[in-house]
A = this chain, B = another copy of it.
Amino acid sequence: MPTYKAPVDDVKFLLEDVFGIERYNNLPGFADASPDIVEAILSEAAKFCQEVLFPLNRVGDHEGCKRGPDGSVTTPKGFKDAYRQLVEGGWIGISAPTEFGGQGLPVLLTEAVNEFLCSANMAFAMYSGLTQGAIAALYAHGTPEQKATYLPKMIEGRWTGTMNLTEPHCGTDLGLLRTKAVPQADGSYKITGTKIFISAGEHDLSDNIIHLVISRIAGAPEGTKGISLFVVPKFLVNADGSLGARNALVCGSLEEKMGIHGNSTCVMNYDGATGWLMGEANRGLSAMFTMMNEARLGVGVQGLALSEVAYQNAAAYAKERLQGRALSGAKFPDKSADPIIVHPDVRRTLMTIRSFNEAARALVMWTALYSDIAHHSEDEKQRRDADDQMGLLTPVIKGVLTDQGFANTVMAQQMFGGHGYIAEHGMEQFVRDARIAMMYEGANGIQALDLVGRKLPKDGGRAVMAFFNEVQAFINEKKSDATMKPYVEPLNVALGHLQQATMWFMQNALGKPDNAGAGAMDYMHLFGLVALGYMWCRMIAAAGVKLKAGANGSAERMNSKLVTGRFFMERMLPETAAQLARIQAGAESTMALPPEAF
């Protein structure tokens, strides 16, 4: 039977010891996030995820969602009751604005809880995850009336949200979209078109579904400059807030897909559905990016979450499965064989995943902290700098955490041999579920281009220079400390590779952008390794402080950090040299063949 235990202690270590959130008590919500409140939230979330959601994970995969002839969608057995508990627990609105009923706590906490939710049941967690994205977009771009109408119910969770971008012929290139919006006399619009791959597009969990739909207003310019964003509820809302008529939209079919069967992936048909403009006309794409950026961070968390739950199950199996003997001689001569955790290749696998997970969790927390600062600091420069880092790190988190998260589920599955391939142990579901995160919310190739083509050059490279300076300053500060040396020295080498790669782009990609495109994916992963390596150094420094102070019962965990961080430096960081070599190879052999040769 698959198993899951939420990493509450690790999150607390990050919040309290590594990032010291009490230093941010001047930000709204942070003072409320006292250690006991944090403890209560995390342990309650852990309990809900472990006891309610995780047992439904296999059920959801096995049953999937079912569409009725009327276009209604039934979620798997148990999802409805679990969703009711999610709403009652107030889990959707932890960080939502208090003025609309949210708890206003730091985004840090939402991301921590979202990791637990996705580890326990990713398909289920997507229903609330998309709602959180829609809340963010409505809060940023909605009119006061729209906010008042939709936000309280969505923050409570009684209504859910979706984002409708993709059409059959266009995904990445939204400028090609064909969905039309025709203005009506009353200020509303009639929306007509077909959207595909709409997660949570129709289901039986909530009373209403608030679709955010991009569409072209009749007569608007072609391309991305003629795209507007609309709010299109499944049920129209009366002036008193009660539900009115059914809107002219329907789920046309459900996709047959590789995984996340518990989430309804819908073809949505809008047939003159009533919608209202959100934000300015023809500026819908930038408004949608508010939601996309939230969502991209959330998708990165999915990569981490599945890597974590896969790791836990692989570790449990490695300690329990008896097979063969240790290379250095039997460790349990009284048993018929040793547990496979004695084998170095099994250890290598576990350490690879673990050393990634712990650093990835830190990177998510760090970025979420930037999000809180960017939204709430009273200092304009601080807000700007935090926003810079958030923008820089978001594609890295989305791309690297989902690529590596998926690879880790595959590695964890591998440890089970043939038993990993059958449904019983749950490992193959983790692989199938994790796979989507590399593709949706902008396929990872797009994340790499966003990083290299947009985020690097933005504002004269201000964000990336600030990142380099911060990492370099940390290295300089710690390099003479003997206990930190084995960590900061490899990081310094990796940072050097990243800086050389950045320089190479500056010198070779301006005149020939294909050189940037051909190296973008390697650059994103190189950036990821440096960022994760930096997180390890921050964690090692914090663990050192904690150990010196007596560690308060966490000495074993802190000592494990020292080993796991060393493994990361020795085994993960060497890849940066290969990434740099590939980047510097440029685009020539990549682009040389004519298309017809393929």
Residues A578 and B589 in contact in the complex (CB < 8 Å), given A327-B516, A417-B443: no
**Cα–Cα distance between A418 and B555 once the two chains are bound (Å):** 45
Q: Hey, what's the 0/1 contact readout for A302-328 against B, CB within 8 Å counting as 1?
A: 000000000000010011001110011
Distance between A258 CB and nearest chain B CB, rounded to angstroms: 4
User: What is the distance, in angstroms, from A560's C-beta to the closest C-beta of chain B?
Assistant: 5
Whether A566 is near chain B, meaning CB under 8 Å from some CB there, is yes
At the interface, is chain A mostly helix, strand, loop or mixed?
helix
Interface size class of A (residues with CB under 8 A): 35 or more
Asked if A504 lies at the interface with its beta carbon under 8 angstroms from chain B, I say no
Among candidates B172, B414, B513, residue contacting A443 with C-beta atoms closer than 8 Å:
B414
Please give, as numbers and ranges, the residues of chain B lying within 8 Å of A84 by CB-CB distance.
Answer: none
A440 to chain B, nearest CB (A): 6
* Structural contact, B323 and A172, CB atoms closer than 8 A: yes
Indicate which residue in B173, B347, B449 contacts A323 across the interface (CB closer than 8 Å).
B173
Whether the Cβ atoms of A256 and B345 lie closer than 8 Å is no
Known: A323-B172, A327-B513, A597-B556. A431 touches B435 (CB 8 A): yes
Which residue on chain B has the smallest CB distance to residue A436? Answer: B421
- In Å, the complex CA distance between A319 and B597 comes to 11
Chain B nearest CB: distance from A597 CB in Å? 5
Residues of B within 8 A of A246 (CB): none
Asked if residues B514 and A351 are in contact (CB atoms below 8 Å), the reply is no
| Contact (A571, B591) CB under 8 Å given A421-B436, A516-B327 | no
Interface check A581, CB cutoff 8 A: yes
Given the complex of chains A and B, what is the CA–CA distance between A518 and B328 in angstroms? 12
Q: CB of A51 within 8 A of chain B?
A: no
A516 to B328 alpha-carbon distance, docked (Å): 11
Interface: A432 (CB within 8 A): yes
Q: Are B421 and A258 closer than 8 Å at their CB atoms?
A: yes
Q: Judge whether A336 and B176 touch: CB under 8 Å.
A: yes
- Residues A258 and B431 in contact, CB atoms below 8 Å apart: yes
Tell me if A445 is interfacial: C-beta within 8 Å of chain B. Answer: yes
Quick check: B257 and A421 within 8 Å, CB to CB? Answer: yes
Interface residues of A in 529-586 (CB under 8 A from B): 556, 560, 563-564, 566-567, 570-571, 574-575, 577-578, 581-582, 585
Contact between B570 and A574, CB atoms less than 8 A apart:
no
Name the B residues within 8 Å of A563 (CB-CB): 589, 592-593
Taking a contact as CB atoms under 8 Å apart, the answer to whether A514 and B327 are in contact is yes
Known: A418-B197, A571-B589. A595 touches B513 (CB 8 A): no
Q: Bound complex: CA of A516 vs CA of B337, how far in Å? A: 21
0/1 interface trace, chain A 396-428, chain B, CB 8 Å (1 if under)? 000000000010001001101111111110001
A390 to chain B minimum Cβ distance, whole angstroms, is 24
Q: What is the bound-complex CA distance between A192 and B512, given in angstroms?
A: 69
Flag if A258 contacts B428 (CB, 8 Å).
yes
Question: What's the least CB distance linking A361 to chain B, in Å?
Answer: 17
Q: A432-455 vs B: 1/0 string, CB under 8 Å?
A: 100110111001110011000100
Residue pair B258, A598 in contact (C-beta under 8 Å): no
Instruction: Report the bound CA distance from A406 to B414 in whole Å.
Output: 12
Closest approach, in angstroms, between the C-beta of A13 and any C-beta of chain B?
15
A476-523 at interface with B (beta carbon < 8 Å): 512-514, 516-518, 520-521
Q: Contact between B323 and A176 (Cβ–Cβ < 8 Å)? A: yes
Query: Is there a chain B Cβ closer than 8 Å to A97's Cβ?
Result: no
- Is A166 among interface residues, defined by CB-CB distance under 8 A? yes
Candidates B256, B328, B418, B598; contact of A512 at CB < 8 Å = B328
Is A171 in the interface zone, CB < 8 Å from B? yes
> Are B574 and A582 neighbours in the complex by a CB distance under 8 Å?
yes
Q: State how many angstroms separate the Cβ of A543 from the closest Cβ of chain B.
A: 14
A330 interface residue, CB < 8 Å from B?
Answer: no
Is there a chain B Cβ closer than 8 Å to A528's Cβ? Answer: no
Residue from B406, B439, B598 within 8 A of A318 (CB atoms): B598
Q: Are B566 and A589 in contact (CB under 8 A)?
A: yes
* Chain B hits for A582, CB < 8 A: 570-571, 574
22 inter-chain pairs at a CB distance below 8 angstroms, sorted by A residue, are: A170-B323, A176-B336, A257-B422, A257-B423, A258-B422, A258-B423, A258-B432, A318-B598, A319-B595, A343-B445, A347-B518, A347-B590, A351-B593, A417-B443, A418-B439, A428-B435, A431-B435, A432-B432, A563-B589, A563-B592, A566-B592, A571-B590
Other than A341-B595, A571-B589, A574-B578, give 19 A-B pairs with Cβ distance below 8 A.
Answer: A169-B322, A171-B419, A172-B324, A173-B324, A176-B322, A196-B418, A256-B422, A256-B424, A258-B423, A258-B428, A259-B421, A265-B422, A318-B598, A319-B595, A328-B513, A344-B516, A348-B590, A349-B445, A417-B440
7 smallest A-B Cβ distances: which pairs?
A344-B517, A574-B581, A327-B513, A344-B518, A258-B428, A570-B585, A315-B598
